Copies of this chain bind each other. A is one copy, B any other.
Amino acid sequence: MAYKSDIEIAREAKKKPILEIGAKLGIAAEDLLPYGHDKAKVSQSFIDSVQGNKNGKLILVTAINPTPAGEGKTTTTVGLGDGLNRIGKKAVICIREASLGPNFGMKGGAAGGGMAQVVPMEEMNLHFTGDFHAITSAHNLLAAMIDNHIYWGNALEIDTRRVVWRRVVDMNDRALRQINCSLGGVANGFPREAGFDITVASEVMAILCLAKNLQDLEKRLGDMIVAYRRDKTPVYCRDLKADGAMTVLLKDAMQPNLVQTLENNPAFVHGGPFANIAHGCNSVTATTTALKLADYVVTEAGFGADLGAEKFMNIKCRKAGLAPDAVVLVATVRAMKMNGGIAKADLGTENVAAVKKGCANLGRHIGNLKSFGVPVVVAINHFVSDTEAEIAAVQEFVKAQGSEAILCKHWAKGGEGIEALAQKVVQLADKGSQFTPLYPDEMGLFDKIETIAKRIYHADEVLADKSVRDQLKAWEAQGYGNLPICMAKTQYSFSTDPNLRGAPTGHSVPVREVRLSAGAGFVVAICGEIMTMPGLPKVPSAETIRLNEAGQIEGLF
Contact = CB atoms under 8 A, between A and B. Distances in A.
Given A36-B33, A555-B244, A174 B145 contact: no
A463 interface: no
Interface stretch (A77-85, A179-187, A397-405, A432-440): A179-187
A173 B144 contact: yes
A194 B545 CA distance: 26
A383 interface: no
A171 B141 contact: yes
B536 A148 contact: yes
A323 to B, nearest CB: 30
B175 A542 contact: no
A6 to B, nearest CB: 18
A224 to B, nearest CB: 15
Contact of A148 (B177, B540, B555): B540
Interface in A519-557: 535-536, 538, 540, 542-547, 551, 553, 555-556
Interface string A343-371: 00000000000000000000000000000
A538 B152 contact: yes
A451 interface: no
B194 A184 contact: no
B175 A182 contact: yes
A173 B140 contact: yes
A381 to B, nearest CB: 31
Contacts of A515: none
B30 A37 contact: yes
B182 A180 contact: no
A248 interface: yes
A214 interface: yes
Interface stretch (A129-137, A262-270, A279-287): A129-137
A534 B535 CA distance: 29
B248 A546 contact: yes
A252 interface: yes
A140 B199 CA distance: 13
B141 A104 contact: yes
A167 B196 CA distance: 13
A193 B147 CA distance: 19
Given A34-B36, A137-B127, A144-B536, A245 B171 contact: no
Q: Which of A44, A140, A173 has the most CB atoms of chain B within a 10 A radius of its CB?
A: A173
A5 interface: no
A35 B37 contact: no
Interface in A91-141: 100, 104, 126-127, 130, 133-134, 136-137, 140-141
A25 to B, nearest CB: 19
A176 interface: yes
A427 interface: no
Contacts of A536: 144-145, 148
A204 to B, nearest CB: 14
Contact of A175 (B189, B545, B546): B189
Interface of A: 30, 33-37, 44, 100, 104, 126-127, 130, 133-134, 136-137, 140-141, 143-145, 147-148, 151-153, 167, 169-184, 187-189, 193-195, 214, 218, 240-245, 247-249, 251-252, 535-536, 538, 540, 542-547, 551, 553, 555-556
Given A148-B536, A241-B543, 10 more contacts: A104-B245, A127-B130, A127-B133, A148-B174, A174-B182, A174-B188, A175-B189, A177-B188, A243-B546, A244-B542
